[in-house]
Amino acid sequence: MQDKEIRNSKNALVNKHLCNYIEGKFLREYRNQQGEILSQNEYAKLCGITSSTISKLKLPEGYNIPMSTIYNILRHEQYSLERFFKEFENSKGINIPD
């Protein structure tokens, strides 16, 4: 495999793990900041993303998730980037693709 293909494969694996982690942590049941259950569409609006983005996040293979999408979900969940990535790192390790 060429270097570019190897990088793309590793990046796809990191994205898959990120999406799966976000799905498991935040997207099993949608809630507003008062803890009330919402529909996927309502949750997406509160996060400032589309419902189709949430659907892509929930795919087992994930997708190439933009940092802005991660930030929008974390902002709604009142979660810092540092806390999220620390927990992700603790859960998945620091060398996912290797």
Q: How confident is the model over 67-89, as pLDDT tens digits?
A: 999 999 999 999 999 999 999 99
More confident residue, 96 or 84: 84
Check whether 22 has a pLDDT greater than 80.
Answer: yes
Any idea how long the chain is?
A: 98
Q: How confident is the model over 46-64, as pLDDT tens digits?
A: 999 999 999 999 999 999 9
Average pLDDT of the chain? Answer: 92
Check whether 94 has a pLDDT greater than 60.
Answer: yes
Enumerate residues 6+ apart whose C-beta is below 8 A from 28. none
CA distances from 70 to 22, 80, 85 (A): 8, 11, 10
Binned at pLDDT 50, 70 and 90, residue 10 comes out as: confident
